[in-house]
Structure 1
Amino acid sequence: MSSIYWLEPDSIDFPPADLALRDPNGLLAAGGDLSLPRLVSAYQNGIFPWFDDDQPILWWSPDPRCVLFPDQLYLSKSLRKALRKQDYSVTFDRAFETVITSCSAPRASTSETWITEDMKQAYAELHHAGFAHSVEVWRNGELVGGLYGIAMGRMFFGESMFSKQRDASKIAFVYLVEQLRTWGYYLIDCQVHSDHLASLGAGEIPRSEFLKILNREINTDVQHTWHMNWCYQKRESS
């Protein structure tokens, strides 16, 4: 395969994820829109959007896939120490739109961001529909870190995280993973490798294996609900 698929405007169907390009790794399709039905269809098929403001909407399914099995969460000595300080509080779904805006801010290494205004609006709609969720870390009433992603079945699809203070995004991730493990989630999709995620225990699996897990777990019923404004003031485990 040497070209990508252009999506029909009147259909939310995607080509099979295993038809994605090898170079650039995972590029599958372009076009379409960021409507709620299309985004839900994308995640159900192991596909996610990732593009710049000056590009058409691009859809990806990389191989290999970076994932974290909740039981494989790794806590370094320094992170354990940060968690034991308990000088923070953690909430779920208290400030979703602030989290995604913070995630969209340019990083120190680049002035660019892939979280466009259209992306922020689309994921806010996913949040209001009950699919997208955020985790927030607070110190002295200030939002200092967090993350957001999509929950479907026993899968959580991580999208982005941010830190304004040391280890804040890692603290958010630890609380998310431990809560998902309690609920019986099977897998956290981290999309592509990063040293930050690898330091927390994430690793790579073949896309074919990821898709098998996805097809099995995406429609599995989970016996829990995401509650607004949960607040974890202290963390009992170390």
Structure 2
Amino acid sequence: MIPWLDDDTLEFPPTRRALGPRSDAPGLLAAGGDLRPDRLRAAYAQGIFPWYGEGQPILWWSTEPRMVLQTKNFKLARSLRKTVARFRRSPGCEIRVDSATETVLKACASTPRDGQNGTWILPEMQQAYLQLAREGSVHSVETWMDGELAGGLYGVNLGRMFYGESMFMRRTDASKIALAALICLCREHHIPWIDCQQQTSHLASMGAAPVTRAAFEAHLAGHAGQPAPQDWSYHPRLWAHLEVGDADGEPDDEPPTV
């Protein structure tokens, strides 16, 4: 039986009570409650996140294992390296942070996903994350080309932890460029892990790997409560963080696409 959260408190059940891998909903921990900022921050600090569809109550999850991208392990494939280099050289191409967060949220919500009908980024979810953005706990990383938003991503920041939520692209590789910029920001601000929640082959190809729930929660205990970075603006000098520490992931077998 999944616990129903009390609207008046911010307490969650212990994550060890989440449904196991043999259940119909592995990782499901609780239902109900609301999406007010204090509850969302309390959830993320414990490795819990909301994910539900239209017509469902708010569902709270703690997946096991957890997909994590350690920023030191980011794989910048040769083709993507050339794409980023061309983006950096091209007039009218730039990375912006938090300049169009609402648009990024709506674009992520409307992007079709393989194996999914509809979206989990419902209007009330968008409003909840926009409120967190106003309070400095949600950031959007945006790829701009010729004055147009070409792609981007958004996520939650607590202390020295970043929780990736969703990404979209309108031009080829624009979301990957935004992810590369996020890696630079995280390296600049000494944020070693990006939470990716679910396991996918795409994330694995870029260096993400699963960790146990225990390892994930131990990392949160040491990082989510630290002071959060105050300056999330993106400076071109931050691209230098890609020149050290990343792994080359594939041969140069395709031309740059930007």
TM-score normalised per structure 1: 0.93
Task: Note if 1:96 corresponds to 2:97.
Answer: no
CA distance in 1, matches of 2:224, 2:60: 19
Offset of residue 54 of structure 1: 1.1
Q: Does the Cα contact within 8 Å between 2:184 and 2:238 map onto a contact in 1? A: no
Give the AA of the match of 1:150.
V
Counterparts in 2 of 1:233 and 1:101: CA distance versus 1, 3 Å: farther
Out of 60-69 and 212-221, give the one that drifted further: 212-221
Task: Note if 1:29 corresponds to 2:30.
Answer: yes
Out of 113-122 and 174-183, give the one that drifted further: 174-183
Offset of residue 188 of structure 1: 0.9
SS in 2 for 1:190: strand
Please list every run of at least 4 consecutive aligned residues from structure 1 whose deviation after the TM superposition is greater than 3 angstroms.
108-111, 230-238
Task: Name the counterpart of 1:14.
Answer: 12
Task: Name the counterpart of 1:49.
Answer: 50
Q: Does the Cα contact within 8 Å between 2:107 and 2:168 map onto a contact in 1? A: yes
5+ residue gaps, structure 2: 244-258
CA distance in 1, matches of 2:110, 2:62: 24
Offset of residue 35 of structure 1: 0.7
Give the AA of the match of 1:139.
M
SS in 2 for 1:134: strand
Task: Name the counterpart of 1:77.
Answer: 78
Counterparts in 2 of 1:217 and 1:234: CA distance versus 1, 3 Å: closer
Task: Name the counterpart of 1:105.
Answer: 110
Q: Does the Cα contact within 8 Å between 1:89 and 1:233 map onto a contact in 2? A: no
- Pick one of 140, 146, 149 that aligns with 1:143: 149
What is the root-mean-square deviation of aligned Cα atoms in Å? 1.7
5+ residue gaps, structure 1: none
CA distance in 2, matches of 1:139, 1:46: 35
Q: Does the Cα contact within 8 Å between 2:152 and 2:169 map onto a contact in 1? A: yes
Identity percentage over the alignment?
43
Out of 207-216 and 15-24, give the one that drifted further: 15-24
SS in 2 for 1:119: helix
- Pick one of 207, 212, 215 that aligns with 1:201: 207
Q: Does the Cα contact within 8 Å between 2:185 and 2:232 map onto a contact in 1? A: no
Task: Name the counterpart of 2:134.
Answer: 128
SS in 2 for 1:98: helix
Offset of residue 5 of structure 1: 1.2
Give the AA of the match of 2:118.
E
